[in-house]
Amino acid sequence: MTVTTEALPGLEPQEGPRPGSRAARMLMPLAADVVKDMAAEYGVCLRPVGLRRTDLTTGQTEIIDVPCGATREDKCVPCAKRARRLRKTQIREGWHRTDEPAPAPNPATEEQRSLISLRAHLEYFRDQAVRESKWDEVGEVDDAIREVEEAIAAEGLRGTVAPAHDKPDEPKRQRSTRRRQDAPALPRQKVQPRTIGRAYTAPDGTEHRPSMWLTMTLDSYGPVREDGSPLDPSRYDYRRAAWDAITFPRLLDRFWQNLRRCVGWNVQYAGCVEPQRRLAPHAHFAIRGTIPRTVLREVAAATYHQVWWPRVDKPTCRPVWDADAEVWCDADGLPLQTWDEALDAIDEDPDAEPAHVIRFGKHVDARGVAAGSKDIDRTVGYITKYITKSAADCHTVTTDRQRAHLERLWQELRVTPCSERCANWLLYGIQPKKAHGKLRPGNCKGKVHQRATLGIGGRRILVSRDWSGKTLADHRHDARAWVKALLGVSGGVDQVPVTESDDGTPAPVAWELAKPNDPDMPPMRHRLLRALAQRMQWRNAINAARDRAAQYEQTANDNEEERNGE
């Protein structure tokens, strides 16, 4: 039975609350929220960084907002979206290239060569001074070396000439042969410097270079439900899941190395690592060129990574720091095994096994993607789908089962050692490398232990060196150059006008971070409003320029048609 209330004449039920009521007022959007929403819509950074620019000739200062450049949406949506757009461009540009991206470096200039020879002489003098134990001279030469190396960097040479002398030479641990990685059972070829795929010629004579799309997963840790939670949590192997998540980047590195050696050319990739529903990481890659699927499967099956660390089981130790002896001790006050002792024990044990071995799961999915096909956009979108979110936010957790699963995995990640220097080693009765009193066992600062990362602590976007031949900064510059070309402007439109000194060169300026409570720092909302207005003008100008360009083309076409019609 339904009850209907009859409305009194003249008092028909209204849509929404009574005007002027509190409820009605609460329905009105907050002005500040609208500013933020509009800023986001127009791609204006929500947490700009204020930089103070001081003109060193006039002494005038000005605060200039630069975007925060966040890559995660929970920090700044517009910046994260911009970062994703750049990544998409980068992936698209490298995928079906038909030429080698990295041009050979320019030959060294005369100036660069003379700096290198000066550096060589200094190395010689330093060596002599060390031999003669003239330590004050060594210090002087070191200063000179530092200066020359700075000059070398300023001269536009990449990398360093030689490792620095500053650090006292630590005796390097000699690794026993047993702890080296075994070679995979794969054919091995010399890797040619080629990075582009093979060209195929169709019967009609057209040439095409297809590329690939590859997905790789990890092994099963126990059966899971549709929502990713384990059927039987008590039998799900959380320990292996945690170790696998932490070491996954190493496995991927090995895979590319093995693949290149197996196929004999310098295969290039761009891809992402992200959690599956079961919260284990998997990886998607765009690969330039084609590789037979059977080869990809073989290499994946043969690839593994061994972690030669002390084997640990359950965290049982309650370590205490002995400040006098500067060692970590167990509950009875006995010093714990040091890192070196633990490694020596592995070396001496003929039956030692690695602490962990990570391999791929059976699921290796490889597909061809032709140049110019509409699959490209979809796949690039797929690779970049989650990159603006932190790992734990990629899949929405709605059920208690899912929450419990995430919690359980995180608890395991919290106590899994992340590196040789991880405080967690103390939980297993081992002092980590370079142990000190400030370590907090079970609370290591390493990213992989954080709930938000799900153990995927490193970079989530992986792009090989010779993918597009450009860095993200290059791609960013390209995007700006495109807009400038469209607007027909040259020079820095988004920069402040630079005062010129008498000889026409730009006046020297100094940049520093402006502090939020500097008296001339406008309130954040004023800065947002200003940036919003600027961006709106900017966008209008772009649209107008586009219209003009389209109109111009249309007129040109019309004229052409007229001419042809005559």
Per CB under 5 A, which region of 235-243, 272-280, 416-424, 432-440 contacts Zn ion?
416-424
- Least CB distance from residue 388 to Zn ion, whole Å? 12
Q: Is 427 in the site for Zn ion (CB under 5 A)?
A: no
Q: Which residues pair with 272 in a beta bridge?
A: 284, 461
Torsion of CA 347, 351, 355, 357, to 10 degrees: 120
Q: Is 413 in the site for Zn ion (CB under 5 A)?
A: no
Identify the three-state secondary structure at position 75. coil
Identify which of residues 69 and 222 has a Cβ nearer to Zn ion in the complex.
69
Identify which of residues 42 and 382 has a Cβ nearer to Zn ion in the complex.
42
Q: Is 224 in the site for Zn ion (CB under 5 A)?
A: no
Per CB under 5 A, which region of 64-72, 108-116, 396-404, 547-555 contacts Zn ion?
64-72
Q: Which two tokens stand for residue 362?
A: 């059976």
Q: Who contacts 518 (Cβ-Cβ below 8 Å, separation ≥6)?
A: 52, 63
- Least CB distance from residue 143 to Zn ion, whole Å? 37
Helical H segments across 155-292, by residue range: 238-263
How many chain residues interact with Zn ion (CB under 5 A)? 9
Q: Are 531 and 44 in contact (CB under 8 A)?
A: yes
Identify which of residues 125 and 321 has a Cβ nearer to Zn ion in the complex.
321
Identify the three-state secondary structure at position 402. helix
DSSP 483-509: HHHHHT--S-TTSPPPPB-TTSSBPPE
Q: Give the C-alpha separation, 412 to 430, whole Å.
A: 18
Judged by CB under 5 A, the residue of 39, 77, 79, 380 near Zn ion is 79
Contacts with Zn ion in 429-488 (CB under 5 A)? 444, 446
Identify which of residues 397 and 444 has a Cβ nearer to Zn ion in the complex.
444
Q: Is 76 in the site for Zn ion (CB under 5 A)?
A: yes
Identify which of residues 39 and 279 has a Cβ nearer to Zn ion in the complex.
39
Identify which of residues 289 and 417 has a Cβ nearer to Zn ion in the complex.
417
Identify which of residues 238 and 467 has a Cβ nearer to Zn ion in the complex.
238
Bridge pairing between strands 320-322 and 356-369 = unpaired
Kindly calculate the radius of gyration of the chain based on its CA atoms and give it in whole angstroms: 31
- Least CB distance from residue 272 to Zn ion, whole Å? 21
Per CB under 5 A, which region of 69-77, 114-122, 165-173, 279-287 contacts Zn ion?
69-77
CA angle 56, 61, 63 (to 5 degrees): 135
Identify which of residues 271 and 457 has a Cβ nearer to Zn ion in the complex.
457
Residue identified by tokens 């919290």 is 414
DSSP one-letter code for 224: B
Residue 73 corresponds to which amino acid? E
Per CB under 5 A, which region of 66-74, 317-325, 329-337, 452-460 contacts Zn ion?
66-74
Torsion of CA 312, 315, 316, 317, to 10 degrees: 90
From the list 469, 422, 470, the residue with the least C-alpha distance to 442 is 422
From the list 368, 370, 373, the residue with the least C-alpha distance to 293 is 368
Phi, psi of 81 (to 5 degrees): -65, -40
Bridge pairing between strands 49-55 and 509-513 = antiparallel
Identify which of residues 224 and 439 has a Cβ nearer to Zn ion in the complex.
439
Q: Is 418 in the site for Zn ion (CB under 5 A)?
A: yes
Sign (positive or negative) of CA dihedral 534, 537, 540, 541: negative
Which helix or strand (DSSP H or E) is residue 22 part of? helix 22-27
Q: How many residues does the chain have?
A: 566
Q: Are 252 and 273 in contact (CB under 8 A)?
A: yes
Q: Is 426 in the site for Zn ion (CB under 5 A)?
A: no
Per CB under 5 A, which region of 43-51, 229-237, 352-360, 525-533 contacts Zn ion?
43-51
Judged by CB under 5 A, the residue of 39, 43, 44, 45 near Zn ion is 45
Per CB under 5 A, which region of 10-18, 78-86, 104-112, 390-398 contacts Zn ion?
78-86
Identify which of residues 216 and 336 has a Cβ nearer to Zn ion in the complex.
336
Q: Is 422 in the site for Zn ion (CB under 5 A)?
A: yes
Per CB under 5 A, which region of 67-75, 219-227, 286-294, 300-308 contacts Zn ion?
67-75
- Least CB distance from residue 415 to Zn ion, whole Å? 9
Q: What is the number of H-type helices and E-type strands within the chain?
A: 12, 13
Identify which of residues 79 and 336 has a Cβ nearer to Zn ion in the complex.
79
Per CB under 5 A, which region of 44-52, 111-119, 296-304, 321-329 contacts Zn ion?
44-52
Binding-site ranges for Zn ion (CB under 5 A): 45, 67-68, 76, 79, 418, 422, 444, 446
